[in-house]
Amino acid sequence: MPATAPRTRVPAVLARGAVLAWGAAVAHPFLLLTALRTGPYRSAGLRLFLTAVAVGLTLPLARRNPLAALGLLLAGVFAAATTRPEAVLLYLPLLAADALVGRIAALHPLKILLPTALVTLAVQIASATYTTSGQDVFVSTITALALALLTAGLLGRSVRERRDHAAELRAATTAEAVAAERLRIARELHDVIAHSIGVIAIQAGVGRRVIETQPAEARNALATIETTSRETLAGLRRTLGALRGADGGGRPAPRDPAPGLADLERLAASTADAGVRVELRHLGNPDVSLPPEVDLAAYRIVQEALTNVVRHAATPTCRVTVERRTGTLLVEIADDGRGTPPGAALTGGYGLLGMRERAELLGGSLTAGPRPGGGFDVTALLPLPHQVPLPLPEGAPTP
């Protein structure tokens, strides 16, 4: 019961607030009539003050229900105008009515705004017949009332359009962010799984063929499958942990370090287990540190390219070149396999598309295609931030 008390208290407070708002707004016409007849010798200052108080009574309801507040305000204006007061005493109620029309324009569509504005203008014109004298004054008063009402309506519509435009921009930004995140997840899962599944499939086939004749080779294949499976599971846990942010117990999810170019030797070993020997070449200055996003993207590009070599190239060897240039990291994977027939389209599937997206997200580029002498080549250029040269050891010759 104590837990439900706050829930029942909030509606009760809201109900009391609504009753007070309606009661104050209903009292507005009567107080406005009283204000126009109050004070010794009908003091103008006192009447203006009481008129402002009467208009203020409609503010709570104007926030909740501007249409109802406008109706009560117009009723008070017309009733007060029939007493033929000084025109200056009705300026504030008329301005308040225009402000409510502007609020209605900001909150409601045109099918509600237009009839409301026409009724408001009609009541204001009818009230002007009691407070003006002379045709010229009457025409100028109507013109001023119409212009003021039109200005309030246009301002309210502009507020509504800006709000709608901002909501559309937020929705579009959210949709783009969701699409980008889905693409990133798909790309990461593809890169984590594709290479390992290729190795597992090949090793399973080898083990099945030699299990009767070469048990030792079959055991090696099973060991490779076990190792690769464990690495794949670790990569999946890392990816899912990064997406979830916390495990089921609410504790921070374990975050293993993301792979990078330092893991190419291990990647080459797993590729060799799949039947393709990888020749690694590191050019440039290997001591230059790479940004984490560039390091991960370069590793994933090499991983996916080697997966394609294992699956499609039908070659026992390939070459991976990593060159740290000034402001650029070059990654090239080349093989002498069967490549792509001349004139054939490079659809590439998700792997090639994912490699190109990784490069372009970092402001780089990726080219892939058959080599003139046979085989296939994948080359990625990834931009690097400006690197400050490391200080030379003492006594070393200057370049």
Residues of the chain with CATH 3.30.565.10: 275-386
Per residue of the chain (399 residues), what is the pLDDT tens digit? 455 555 556 566 667 777 777 777 777 777 777 777 665 555 777 777 878 888 888 888 888 888 888 888 888 888 888 888 777 778 888 898 989 999 999 988 889 989 999 999 999 888 888 877 777 778 888 888 899 999 999 999 999 999 988 888 888 888 888 787 777 777 777 766 766 777 777 778 778 888 878 888 778 778 878 777 777 777 777 666 666 654 444 445 445 567 888 888 988 888 887 788 999 998 887 666 788 888 888 998 998 888 888 888 888 899 999 998 888 899 999 998 876 544 444 555 667 888 888 888 888 999 998 888 788 999 999 998 765 444 444 554 444
Read off the tokens for 378: 């994948």
Read off the tokens for 112: 């509600």
Read off the tokens for 119: 């009724």
CA distances from 332 to 27, 198, 279, 329 (A): 82, 21, 12, 10
**Do residues 369 and 377 touch, judged by C-beta distance below 8 A?**
yes
3 state SS of 326: coil
Read off the tokens for 66: 């501007």
3 state SS of 215: helix
Q: Which CATH number fits domain 275-386: 3.30.70.100, 3.30.565.10, 3.40.50.720, 3.30.390.30?
A: 3.30.565.10
pLDDT at 154: 92
pLDDT at 321: 92
Task: Output Rg (C-alpha) for the chain, integer angstroms.
Answer: 39
Determine how many CB atoms are found less than 10 A away from the CB of residue 36.
Answer: 22
Read off the tokens for 116: 């409301």
pLDDT at 263: 87
pLDDT at 344: 42
pLDDT at 237: 73
pLDDT at 382: 92
Closest alpha carbon to 56 in 80, 27, 33: 27
